[in-house]
Amino acid sequence: MSVALVLVSHSPRLADGLAELTAQMAPDVVVRCAAGDVDGGLGTSLDRVQEAVEAALARTDSVVVLADLGSAVLVVESVLELDPDLPPRVRMVSAPFVEGAVAAAVSAQQGADLDGVAAAAEDAARSIGPEPVYQVVEAAGTGSPPIAGTWAQGEVVPEPGAPSSGAADEVSATVEIRNALGLHARPAAVVARAAADLGVPVTIEGADATSVLALMSLGTTAGQRVTVTARGDGAQGAVALVSGLIEGGFGEA
At 104-160, the pLDDT tens digits run 999 999 999 999 999 999 988 776 554 443 333 343 444 444 433 333 333 333 333
Domain 134-251 homologous superfamily, CATH: HPr-like (3.30.1340.10)
Sequence-distant (≥ 6) Cβ neighbours of residue 20 within 8 angstroms: none
**Type of residue at 44:** T
Asked if pLDDT for residue 64 goes beyond 90, the answer is yes
CA dist 15 and 246 (Å) reads 30
Q: What is the DSSP string of 193-226?
A: HHHHHHTS-EEETTEETT-HHHHHTT---TT-EE
The helix (run of H) or strand (run of E) holding residue 242 is: helix 235-248
Give residue 40's pLDDT.
81
Q: Where in the chain is the domain with CATH 3.40.50.510?
A: 3-127
Sheet holding 207-208, edge to edge: 170-176, 225-231, 202-204, 207-208
Asked if pLDDT for residue 76 goes beyond 80, the answer is yes
Q: Which residue has the higher pLDDT, 246 or 139?
A: 246
CA dist 225 and 207 (Å) reads 14
* Model confidence band, residue 16 (pLDDT cutoffs 50, 70, 90): very high
Indicate the class that CATH gives domain 3-127.
alpha beta
CA dist 22 and 172 (Å) reads 30
Q: What are phi and psi of 29, to 5 degrees?
A: -90, 130
Tell me the average pLDDT across 180-209: 89
Structural Rg of the chain based on CA atoms: 21
- Picking from 29-38, 59-68, 120-129, 149-158, which range would have the lowest pLDDT averaged per residue? 149-158
CA dist 72 and 45 (Å) reads 8
Active site residues: 10
Distance from chain centroid for Cα 188: 10
Q: Where in the chain is the domain with CATH 3.30.1340.10?
A: 134-251
Check: pTM over 0.75? Answer yes or no.
no
Sequence-distant (≥ 6) Cβ neighbours of residue 54 within 8 angstroms: none
